[in-house]
Amino acid sequence: MTAPANDASKGPQDAMVDTVPSEGGVTREQRNPAVASRERRTTAMSPSGETPYLVVEDLTVQFPTADGLVSAVNGLSYSVPLGRTLSIVGESGSGKSVSSMAVMGLHDRKRTRISGSIRLGGDELVGLSENELMKVRGDAVAMVFQDPQSSLHPLYTVGNQITEAYRVHHKVSKDVAKKRALEMLDLVGIPNPIRRFKQYPHEFSGGMRQRAMIAMGLVNDPKLVIADEPTTALDVTVQAQILDLLNNLQKEFGSAIVLITHDLGVVAEMADDVLVMYAGRCVEYGTAEDVLARPRMPYTWGLLESIPTVSAANERLRPIKGLPPSLLSLPGGCSFNPRCPYADRVKGERCTTDLPDLLRVDGAGAHTSRCHLHDKASIYEAEVAPRLG
């Protein structure tokens, strides 16, 4: 993803700022330099008033295989300031988790080709050695994985795993680390932390295991937390509790959060900004309000239409027809064109021959989309919005 038509006179920082969703009319001097509450964020789209903590630019991740080169992520760019939540959404196989694992440095170096830039607090991560990455991983940035059952070691107690995560980055005694682990277990809402500290992962419920993973991720006060489908295997009640927990912990620690999910209901609840991925590329990017209320890409329309609503209880779901393309051989032009119901409204063969640029919606603001349609706003208002209810 490349910021369109940047003024050549701008410096690198100015060009980067153009790609960050922000509310028009709010100058850098007017922004609150402190981490703001969610209510404050609705009126100041850059509450930290600082350079984004995580900046990903032109990230490409490829996997050589016997069948060919798998292009899992293609030219992805985004940024996340402290105190904000960016949700990365899309179907399975769109590149969400692959891109975030690249930020964590978790890909096998011998089997992965990574190019582009990943800067964390101004420091470049691409090209760091494994030892250097281990100093960053779990300290400055932490990841909460989708399945805590497979992420927690079954042969070690939960308490020992949290204390180990703390001692890796702090030269403290076991007693000090234990005290910190108990504080974190209590902070994430696990009852009777002293007893739970000595238990094994299989003795925890699914929701409690996820809380333990969050405690482990936040034990070192990381400035960036990547949550990969943190509520997928949980029931609705526990899911709401986990989302509230992440929201409250963000306010306490002032962390930036990257939330990977396919659930747009979770996005509406948690996100400040939204990045929609398809076939390894960003196809729409902006504030949650812009992307959810004024989407300008047919794939985003399809995601929104596939959500069941209470008012449409007796209506059939509207899934996106077809399947995502093979990452071994992406279609020419727009990767979504074989499934797009609006491709025939574009003159000529542009949808099959030309990859759309990621351009600003209506030529202004930070809301961008990747589509050849010229009348996206009118199509959405006349045809898509009425179906959403």
Residues contacting residue 19 through CB under 8 Å, at least 6 positions apart: 1, 3, 77, 78, 79, 285, 366, 368
How far apart CA 272 and CA 87 sit, in angstroms, is 8
pLDDT, averaged in runs of 10, over the chain (389 residues): 40 38 37 34 32 93 95 95 94 93 93 96 93 91 83 93 93 94 92 94 90 90 91 78 86 91 87 95 94 95 84 71 92 95 93 94 82 93 88
> What predicted TM-score, i.e. pTM, was given to this entire model?
0.82
- Give the per-residue pLDDT at 312: 56
- Sign, CA dihedral 230-244-284-118, equals negative
- Give the per-residue pLDDT at 48: 32
Q: Is 15 part of any domain?
A: yes
Q: Label each residue of 121-146 as H, E or C.
A: CCEECCCCCHHHHHHHECCCEEEECC
Q: Is 17 part of any domain?
A: yes
Residues contacting residue 123 through CB under 8 Å, at least 6 positions apart: 136
Residue 134 in tokens: 């281990």
Q: Is 205 part of any domain?
A: no
Residue 158 in tokens: 């939960």
* DSSP per-residue string spanning 32-44: -SSPPPHHHHTT-
30 with 22: CB under 8 angstroms? no
Residue 287's CB: how many other CB atoms inside 10 A? 23
Q: Is 213 part of any domain?
A: no
How far apart CA 165 and CA 152 sit, in angstroms, is 12
Torsion of CA 146, 149, 151, 156, to 10 degrees: 160
Residue 37's CB: how many other CB atoms inside 10 A? 11
Q: Is 135 part of any domain?
A: no
194 with 173: CB under 8 angstroms? no
CA distances in angstroms from 88 to 198, 228, 251, listed in the order given: 36, 10, 20
Helix spans in the chain (H): 12-18, 38-41, 96-104, 130-136, 148-151, 158-167, 174-187, 193-197, 206-218, 236-253, 264-270, 288-293, 298-305, 350-353, 376-379, 385-388
What is the number of structural domains in the chain?
Answer: 1
Residues contacting residue 158 through CB under 8 Å, at least 6 positions apart: 152, 185, 196, 197, 199, 200, 201, 204, 212
Residue span of the structural domain in which 105 resides: 1-129+224-239+252-389
Q: Is 167 part of any domain?
A: no
Q: Is 307 part of any domain?
A: yes
Q: Is 140 part of any domain?
A: no
CATH number at residue 59: 3.40.50.300
- Give the per-residue pLDDT at 293: 93
